Amino acid sequence: MADDHFSFVIDATDGDARMGRIVTPHGNVPTPAFMPVGTRAAVKAMAPDELWSMGYRMVLANTYHLAVRPGSELVHQMGGIARFMGFRGAVLTDSGGFQAMSLARINSIGEDGIRFRSHLDGAPLTLTPESAIAIQQALGTDIMMALDECTPYPAEPERVRQSLELTARWAERCVRARTSPTQALFGIVQGGVYPELRRLSARQITSLPFDGYAAGGLSVGEPKPAMREMAALTASLLPADRPRYLMGVGTPQDLLAAIAMGFDMFDCVMPTRNARNGSAFTSEGRVSIKRAVHTRDERPLDPRCDCRCCTTFSRAYLRHLFMAGEILAARALTEHNLYFYGRLMREAQAAIASRAYKAFAGYAANLIETGETARNGKTD
């Protein structure tokens, strides 16, 4: 386990919801925390200081993609990933295990690990539990993720069982491979949509000395009721004194529900990817700025929001930018969506501290009706 460079402090609870702090070498991360996805050490359309000014203290990057380009050795020589990307806060790296599913056409999985052909030039790359840890240690990330296999949906129970058993064996190897005393390491619970397999995976992973635990293999195409049922079950099986991370989820309503389950950390590409496609999350529901109804709309994107986009631009101007293919459209909508998610986390923290989370979550979920489901939140 990591030494005193990493710790988790719970400052308040309300039911199963928790408000606290993850202490890292790059500062404290207030929880519940949403992490913007910066797959290649960059959150698309956003500068690191802009993320910081919005209150973000941790972002997510991806081991596979950074190993392919620019390479962990270069990042190490440049002082580590946070310094390389100019971000003042902490960085969590996904292990690359998700790419075993999302890039299935260019990989093969065996007991040793995952053999990729680079999506850039076809060059071979093998991620083993040992090399995944070595790469993340070279990157200098604050939180490393153990290598796992994420099964797609649907998958038969026996296929899921084989996968979670492989994930457990890889997890043991990751624990043995970790040599850095300052970087935290999280394990990942799999099990698909099968309760007994989730319980089995949770027993296996929580028996290992990880600094935190994640629920993986959700939001990969399964029905939303199944996703929430499995998320709630997994949260109940994870240690209360460690951070709980729900990977790749999701909509604002999903986050509110997951916080009530006891999760502390989240990531998803929805706020950034939706923005680039002209879709914004607002307190009045999801807004598609592409619609002709906004052509002469003088209103701000969200009248309840005080972000730079909403206090500067009209919907009419934002639609013009998007239809004209201007880069500013992606910049403005991304900034708004990330501001929206960040503010939602701060409001959740305050509600937990005042023991009013249930009322807050019910009100906010009814107000924020996106009408969308999410698939995957790891690569942007």
Known catalytic residues are: 94, 267
DSSP code string of 277-336: TTEEEETTEEEETTSGGGTT--S-S-TT--SHHHHH--HHHHHHHHHTT-HHHHHHHHHH
Cα 374 to chain centroid distance, Å, stands at 12
Q: How far from 307 is each of 332, 342, 346, CA to CA, in Å?
A: 10, 11, 14
Question: What is the rounded CA–CA span in Å between residue 313 and residue 300?
Answer: 6
Task: Count the Cβ atoms, other than its own, within 10 Å of residue 350.
Answer: 14
Question: What is the rounded CA–CA span in Å between residue 196 and residue 218?
Answer: 15
Nearest one of 255, 218, 260 to 343, comparing CA atoms: 255
Question: What is the rounded CA–CA span in Å between residue 293 and residue 66?
Answer: 42
Sheet of strand 27-31: strand arrangement: 7-14, 17-24, 27-31
Q: Is the backbone peptide bond immediately before 250 cis, with ω within 30 degrees of 0? A: yes
Residue 66 tokens read as 């950074």
Strand 124-127 with 143-145, pairing: unpaired
Question: What is the rounded CA–CA span in Å between residue 215 and residue 154?
Answer: 17
Residue 222 tokens read as 């399964």
DSSP state for residue 343 in the 8-state scheme? H
Task: With beta carbons less than 8 A apart as the criterion, state whether 191 and 217 touch.
Answer: yes
Residue 324 tokens read as 């004209």
DSSP state for residue 78 in the 8-state scheme? T
Task: With beta carbons less than 8 A apart as the criterion, state whether 308 and 298 touch.
Answer: no
